[in-house]
């Protein structure tokens, strides 16, 4: 009788815990799929803009098209490797790896692609139990899960500005619907 009670308790507890772990596994899987689609679309946007227009910016205080592209790389690196991963942040003043510097269009596209690879590898190996840990995010208390969602929003925000720059240069941006 005692063994039956213990077995029943194990089954009940495992049935309650299993959906929680499935949701976490599912979140990472879905997030990585979203990030992969974001990469494809961003690279298509970067490819579509002619290299001679990479320095375009609509106002003097705006970022240029190429600065938006490399800023996305910088933010992905910082959000994943530094904020979530604990690695020291790159020094913006001295590290040129994720800055425009003297990079060609092809070099910037290769850099952003590699940065996506690194971020996706990091996220695929992220310890699921850490998703609910909290961090100070520019004065706001956020979970690491929220940080990942903020990273996606940040990529979308800067990519959308790049799309406007394309329109201002009489270019038709690639259709987004293909990447939903």
> How many domains, in total, are found in the chain?
1
The pLDDT assigned to 34 comes to 93
The pLDDT assigned to 180 comes to 58
Q: What is the pLDDT of residues 35-65, one digit of tens each?
A: 999 999 999 999 999 999 999 999 999 999 9
Residue 4 belongs to some domain of the structure: no
Residue 17 belongs to some domain of the structure: no
Residue 127 belongs to some domain of the structure: yes
**What is the average pLDDT across 63-85?**
95
pLDDT band at 25 (very low <50, low <70, confident <90, very high): low
Cα–Cα distance measured from residue 7 to residue 28, given in angstroms and rounded to the nearest whole number: 31
Residue 15 belongs to some domain of the structure: no
Cα–Cα distance measured from residue 108 to residue 80, given in angstroms and rounded to the nearest whole number: 19
| Nearest partner of 146 among 31, 3, 41, judged by Cα | 31
Q: What is the pLDDT of residues 86-145, one digit of tens each?
A: 999 998 888 889 999 999 999 999 999 999 999 999 999 998 889 999 999 999 999 999
The CATH number of the domain where 55 resides is what? 1.20.120.450
The pLDDT assigned to 24 comes to 46
User: In Å, what is the CA distance from 67 to each residue of 41, 71, 98, 167?
Assistant: 17, 6, 10, 17
* pTM, to two decimals: 0.84
Domain that holds residue 146: 27-179
The pLDDT assigned to 49 comes to 98
What per-residue string of b and e applies to 144-173 under the rule 16 or more CB within 10 Å gives b? bbbbbebbeebbeebbebbbebbeeeeeeb
Residue 87 belongs to some domain of the structure: yes
Residue 149 belongs to some domain of the structure: yes
Record the tokens describing residue 128, joined without a space: 């699921």
**What is the average pLDDT across 70-95?**
92
């Amino acid at each position: 009788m005692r063994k039956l009670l213990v077995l029943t308790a194990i089954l009940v507890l495992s049935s309650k815990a299993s959906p929680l772990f499935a949701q976490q596994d599912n979140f990472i899987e879905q997030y990585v799929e979203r990030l992969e689609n974001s990469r494809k679309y961003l690279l298509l946007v970067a490819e579509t803009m002619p290299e001679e227009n990479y320095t375009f910016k609509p106002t003097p205080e705006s970022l240029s098209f190429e600065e938006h592209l490399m800023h996305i790389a910088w933010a992905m690196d910082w959000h994943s490797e530094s904020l979530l991963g604990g690695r020291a942040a790159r020094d913006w003043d001295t590290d040129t790896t994720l800055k425009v510097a003297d990079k060609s269009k092809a070099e910037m596209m290769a850099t952003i692609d590699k940065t996506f690879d690194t971020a996706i590898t990091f996220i695929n190996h992220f310890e699921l139990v850490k998703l609910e840990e909290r961090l100070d995010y520019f004065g706001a208390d956020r979970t690491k899960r929220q940080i990942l969602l903020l990273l996606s929003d940040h990529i979308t925000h800067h990519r959308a500005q790049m799309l406007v720059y394309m329109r201002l240069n009489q270019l038709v941006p690639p259709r987004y619907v293909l990447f939903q």
